[in-house]
Amino acid sequence: MQYLKWEDGNEYDGSQINPSWAFQEFGVKDSTIVSWLGPMNILGKNLIDYEDVGLDIKGNMMLNFIVEHFDEQPGSLRLAYHRQRMLVMITRDKLLDYGIKTTQDGDDIFINNKKLSVSIATASISSMKMHFALNITVDGTPEDVETSALEDNGMTIEQIHQLQDSIAETYIETIETIEKDIVKTKVF
């Protein structure tokens, strides 16, 4: 699995959740975690979650992650959601390193009951995908949702970039150690 940092400033519009996006964008023939800082404005045609139809899913500045796994065909939606929860838990652990205490409800992270994250998982014939993002600022977030942000909790851009790398590297390490455990385990 490879970690790629996309140029900061690119907008997440939902099209990046399509299968093989990292291959088409970067030419990478591997499972990937791609991350960048940029705005989010998911267009209606790119909404995946039926509960989100008609809602505004946006923010002026987000820490975005796109994860794609090619280790099972067809992709398992169940496994994609398990991995998404794992990414959420890794993120919560890493935020504690910066003194930021959070709570979790499903795939959502909250600070003082205010929503910090957005996330979706999906599967296709060829892969499993996730988008996960944290608000860097509350600017541009939907007015009907109480939101929190990393900058409101004292994080600088330099610290956010450190957090970005730490989350991605820990996620890859976790996936790799699971694969090693599978190989060394006697089955009956």
State which H helix or E strand residue 25 sits in.
Answer: helix 21-26
Q: Is the pLDDT of residue 52 over 90?
A: no
How confident is the model at residue 48, as a pLDDT? 58
What is the domain partition of the chain in residue ranges?
A: 2-184
Please write the tens of the pLDDT for every residue from 103-144: 999 999 999 999 999 999 999 999 999 999 999 999 999 888
Beta strand extents in 56-159 (DSSP E only): 58-69, 103-105, 108-111, 114-115, 117-123, 128-135
Q: Is the pLDDT of residue 45 over 90?
A: no
On the CB side of 149, CA atoms within 13 Å amount to 17
How confident is the model at residue 46, as a pLDDT? 57
Residue 38 and residue 141 in contact, taking contact as beta carbons nearer than 8 Å: no
Please write the tens of the pLDDT for every residue from 66-99: 999 999 999 999 999 999 999 999 999 999 999 9
The CATH code belonging to domain 2-184 is 3.30.930.10
